[in-house]
Structure 1
Amino acid sequence: MVVYLLVAIGLVGLILIQQGKGADMGASFGAGASATLFGSSGAGNFLTRSTAVLAIGFFALSLIIGNLSANHTRSEDAWNDLSNDAAQVVDQVSEEVQQTEDKIPD
């Protein structure tokens, strides 16, 4: 969970410090043509690659944590002490019987 939290904070931080594509100098020359003014964007810089790696890590950790936490029932604990549960059921039934006997008209 600590690693998951660190990856999430790092991902948010990297996204916030990056510039958008429209923030380049080419954005002032025309609407939406900034990507073609100085050529196509290559493989990306360090921030883009780091963001992609952290995003993949975030999704992988999300799936792993979800898989580990799904369908965890304590069926073993429920079967360890049946005498206590049986005593509670017997007490409840006897109370109900006493209440119904009191309600029977004479």
Structure 2
Amino acid sequence: MEKLTLIIHILTGLAIIGMILLQQGKGAEAGASFGSGASQTMLGSAGSWNFFSKITAILATIFFVTSFALAVTAKDRSTLKEGIFPNLEAIQQSAETELPKIDIVDEASDIPK
């Protein structure tokens, strides 16, 4: 199930990139005021923006859902074994006992603090 979700996630991400690259920018609409507006669009003067924006929104929703599903799957798989905690405590205790103590001397009075 995780591999299928990951494949859908990757394909959706690539599709979003493709859909964004297919869309025209805001500056491309400036030519419409001079009479060449509907001749260069794929689905008419207003249809292409609505089509691409709806498909991009659907793909973004699918991408969000697959991201959430992958995060939940990764959280469920990441469990700590109970045998780790005693080892961590032993490491911390050994690190505390092995450190040498340093006397700090005040240079003005030459008296250790």
Give the structure-1-normalised TM-score.
0.49
Q: Which is helix-richer, 1 or 2?
A: 1
Give the structure-2-normalised TM-score.
0.47
